[in-house]
Structure 1
């Protein structure tokens, strides 16, 4: 191989690495703050969080792929301090889809971190069936919430009502951008 060919190869590799590094630092390509650990809210009043929450928007995910809209979750605190979540949505053919989950708080009684499983109870000993469900933004009135997990792969915005005031939603999106979320990926949910 000639010196000229070797220089071309090194120049190509150097340019490619430089370009890749540049792409990962452009705002909008990857959020700068997404490298920082995700912080949930300081605490929650779990009984107050219970009840019906309507999905306003979400990031695309495989387990809601068939949902056409009208998504909501009803949370119920159980006697053993676990949480039952009944997730509902309408499928494209109009049928109602229901998925049951069990959740448990991680840490203190006011912890905003929960572990949730959709698998049967007999599989609950397996760590892989439990997913993170972190409350990362919650208004003081417990009317609007953002839920995610440490990697920011999933994001749900939920409300006690089927509609959210545009100003409140826009303010929440700004806070989520500051936390490193690509909010332009959110899909609005038909309610």
Structure 2
């Protein structure tokens, strides 16, 4: 029985490191160029971000070679800032935009950068089509970037009718 539980636990964790069909991580990824502050422009909703506005993500190198992640957002209904600290590591090669990220101990999920333009915006997926983000170096993007994001996401099976566009003040 214990072996079965271990196997099921392993399979459930491994499933979190996949990616949706049709999503491919960017090649020639340069982590040093990706580090720094990003603004969340759009996302599919999840309990860990529900109601948050002014959401940002900051990435920095860790001493162990990984990436420190700090996600921050404002929850207006309680008039407070929420912050989560995590860590990320490359899944395969360091020149591939495919990382695993953890905010909860030993549990990791996929962080797949499938579009990255001149270090100005990034389209990011999780392990399945329930997780999707548009990040930008600025608090807003033009409508062409939003349209491209929605088109590429829809082609890959994401439900773009559920997108939330984040307010930044």
Aligned to 1:95: 80
**How much has 1:172 moved relative to structure 2?**
2.3
Q: Which structure has the highest helix share of the two?
A: 1
Q: How far apart, CA to CA, are the structure 1 residues paired with 2:160 and 2:51? A: 21
Deviations 1:127-152 (A, max 9, x none): xx11111111111x111111112311
Which residue, 21, 38, 45 being the options, matches 2:30?
Answer: 45
Which residue, 114, 130, 151 being the options, matches 2:128?
Answer: 151
Aligned to 1:12: none
Q: How far apart, CA to CA, are the structure 1 residues paired with 2:87 and 2:108? A: 9
Deviations 1:15-44 (A, max 9, x none): xxxxxxxxxxxxxxxxxxxx8343222241
Q: What's the TM-score, normalizing by structure 1?
A: 0.73
Contact 1:37 1:150 in 2 (8 A): no
The alignment yields a C-alpha RMSD, in angstroms, of 1.7
Runs of 5+ unmatched residues, structure 2? 1-19
Over 4 Å off, 4+ runs: none
- The total of aligned residue pairs comes to 149
SS in 2 for 1:64: coil
SS in 1 for 2:54: strand
**How much has 1:94 moved relative to structure 2?**
2.0
Structure with larger Rg: 1
Which residue, 123, 131, 138 being the options, matches 2:109?
Answer: 131
